[in-house]
Amino acid sequence: DLPFTESYKIKMVEPIRKSTRKEREEWIKNAKFNLFNLRSEQVFIDLLTDSGTGAMSDRQWGAIMTGDESYAGSSSYYHLKETIKDVTGFEYFLPSHQGRAAENVLFSSLIKAGDLIPGNAHFDTTKGHIEFRHADAIDCTIKEAYDTTKEHPFKGNVDLDKLEHVLISNPKERIPMIIVTVTCNTAGGQPVSMQNLKDVYQMAKKYGITVIFDAARFAENAYFIKMREHGYRNKSIRDIVQEMFSYSDGMTMSSKKDGLVNIGGFMAFRKKEMVEKCSMHTIMYEGYITYGGMSGRDMNALAVGLQEVVEFDYLDTRIQQVKYLGDKLIEYGVPVQQPIGGHAVFVDAKRFLPHVPKDEYIAQTLAVELYLEGGVRGVEIGTLLADRDPHSRENRYPALELVRLAIPRRVYTNNHMHYVAAILKNVYDRRDQLKHGFSITHEAPILRHFTVELERV
């Protein structure tokens, strides 16, 4: 077997700097133990997110130079429109400055107080935008998703019984849409099978409900379908992507992931009436409908990125690198969500730190330790992120306490991944000494994890 190799070579580099433990102790204390408050120079390997942190290709940088900055009818808009049609099959689209902006526009147009939006585990901004409108996001993910030790090829799948229960027991007028997130970030970057996408769509049509994909990582989802689902091994990623989108009425997109750009988003739809419904809010919040918060050059680079992301070799490099890190951690005995997700490795903090009490923020405690150990920045996906219940204002304790190590696209080498694994091993070896976490000294009423301030218990 030949070793795994990257499907690109490097044309430009950006230096990064190691720091001492003493420096990091000072920095994290000043940051109130919130990793979002660190300066990037204080981080050695930054796995906070795979969002907007990737490297663009030379072809994308070339497209930047030919971007058209016309306010209306820019050629870059049409380049992007044709690409979206080509890749997803959706005829109609509206640009936005990032994924949550697309959610804001779509939900402002379609969601009202008291509505229910079922789906597989919604991403935090999606849920935030739903709850902000006094509507409820209903998690219908299959139960296997919440057992990190259970191997299941498609842990992002929607539980059809749970979904049907919601659809049967509520009036259609209260369910403006079902949102299926591909891959499901909250469940661990886990894919949704083609069969499940098809079943959800057929059920939705039976009840007359719209299906929207939160498609931030649609190409990574297609890769898993190709590799894991019966009957798809010989199909191209492009064909799989086309079939996936045939089971939805539209999509919101954070282009910062599978758009392979640093900023941007969009909505795309099969029917013109959806664009008509969303145009007013696009103009009010984002900008005129042919740029919606994006510069022409950025739309041009996105159009190229959407073509590159559906190349098999690109996806193979990408997903294999994430798996490389995951496999190393498994080798070291570190508890991780299995199978390994598409964009990140999710460390199971409850199994990693069994002594830290749940009201002392287990996953955050681990994330801070990894930073202290080696300047590695991951992110908490646990009680801080889960926020308080909007009705009772009590902490919501999620089924899983995870630290996500998200891998930026085309940025780090496998040596970097090896280093990260070694840092986790060091912390794992001294896990029995870690008995306490943090308490909150300050928090915002919604999406608190970004600005929360903590102190050691």
Q: Which residues bind ligand F0G (CB under 6 A)?
A: 49, 51, 98-100, 123, 125-126, 181, 185, 214, 216, 254, 256, 265
Least separation in angstroms between CB 345 and ligand F0G: 14
Cα–Cα distance between 296 and 298 in angstroms, integer? 5
Q: Identify whether 165 is a catalytic site residue.
A: no
Answer for the pair 144, 150: CB distance below 8 angstroms, yes or no: yes
Instruction: Using the minimum distance from each CB to ligand F0G, give the nearer residue, 98 or 193.
Output: 98
- Residue from 63, 216, 344, 367 carrying the catalytic annotation: 216
Helix (H/G/I), strand (E/B), else coil: 138: strand
Instruction: Using the minimum distance from each CB to ligand F0G, give the nearer residue, 356 or 376.
Output: 376
Q: Identify whether 123 is a catalytic site residue.
A: yes
Least separation in angstroms between CB 402 and ligand F0G: 12
Answer for the pair 198, 237: CB distance below 8 angstroms, yes or no: no
Instruction: Using the minimum distance from each CB to ligand F0G, give the nearer residue, 176 or 265.
Output: 265
Q: Identify whether 249 is a catalytic site residue.
A: no
Least separation in angstroms between CB 392 and ligand F0G: 26
- Residue from 33, 44, 92, 123 carrying the catalytic annotation: 123
Answer for the pair 343, 225: CB distance below 8 angstroms, yes or no: no
Instruction: Using the minimum distance from each CB to ligand F0G, give the nearer residue, 215 or 356.
Output: 215
For residue 211, report the phi and psi dihedrals to the nearest 5 degrees. -115, 125
Q: Measured over all CA atoms, what is the biggest interatomic distance in the chain, rounded to whole angstroms?
A: 61
Angle at 366 between CA 361 and CA 367, to 5 degrees: 100
Q: Which one-letter amino acid corresponds to residue 106?
A: L
Q: Identify whether 124 is a catalytic site residue.
A: yes
Least separation in angstroms between CB 185 and ligand F0G: 4
Q: Identify whether 97 is a catalytic site residue.
A: no
Which helix (H) or strand (E) covers residue 268, if one does?
strand 265-269
Write down the residue that tokens 């969303």 correspond to: 278
Instruction: Using the minimum distance from each CB to ligand F0G, give the nearer residue, 265 or 375.
Output: 265
Write down the residue that tokens 């890190």 correspond to: 325
Cα–Cα distance between 411 and 321 in angstroms, integer? 11
Instruction: Using the minimum distance from each CB to ligand F0G, give the nearer residue, 119 or 360.
Output: 119
CA distances from 119 to 60, 108, 393 (A): 34, 18, 23
Least separation in angstroms between CB 125 and ligand F0G: 5
**Residue whose beta carbon is closest to ligand F0G:** 99
Instruction: Using the minimum distance from each CB to ligand F0G, give the nearer residue, 99 or 296.
Output: 99
Least separation in angstroms between CB 251 and ligand F0G: 11
Tokens of residue 35, six digits: 């990793």
- Residue from 115, 214, 298, 387 carrying the catalytic annotation: 214
What angle in degrees, to the nearest 10, is found between the helix axes of 237-246 and 75-88?
90
Q: Identify whether 449 is a catalytic site residue.
A: yes
Write down the residue that tokens 């909505």 correspond to: 267
Least separation in angstroms between CB 343 and ligand F0G: 8
Tokens of residue 38, six digits: 């660190």
> Which candidate, 121, 119, 131, 125, places its Cα nearest to that of 103?
125
Instruction: Using the minimum distance from each CB to ligand F0G, give the nearer residue, 53 or 300.
Output: 53
> Which candidate, 116, 90, 100, 103, places its Cα nearest to that of 250?
90
Helix (H/G/I), strand (E/B), else coil: 380: strand
Residues 6+ apart with CB under 8 A from 225: 191, 193, 194, 232, 240, 244
First-to-last C-alpha distance (Å) of the chain: 50
Least separation in angstroms between CB 248 and ligand F0G: 14
Burial tier of 170 (Cβ tally within 10 Å: 0-12, 13-18, 19+):
middle
- Residue from 79, 257, 281, 343 carrying the catalytic annotation: 257
CA 106 to the chain's CA centroid? 18
Q: Identify whether 444 is a catalytic site residue.
A: no
- Residue from 46, 124, 249, 258 carrying the catalytic annotation: 124
Least separation in angstroms between CB 97 and ligand F0G: 8
Tokens of residue 428, six digits: 């794992």
Q: Which one-letter amino acid corresponds to residue 341?
A: G
- Residue from 71, 206, 429, 450 carrying the catalytic annotation: 71
Write down the residue that tokens 């098809």 correspond to: 198
Write down the residue that tokens 């901004």 correspond to: 125
Instruction: Using the minimum distance from each CB to ligand F0G, give the nearer residue, 175 or 179.
Output: 179
Q: Catalytic residue positions?
A: 71, 123-124, 214, 216, 257, 449
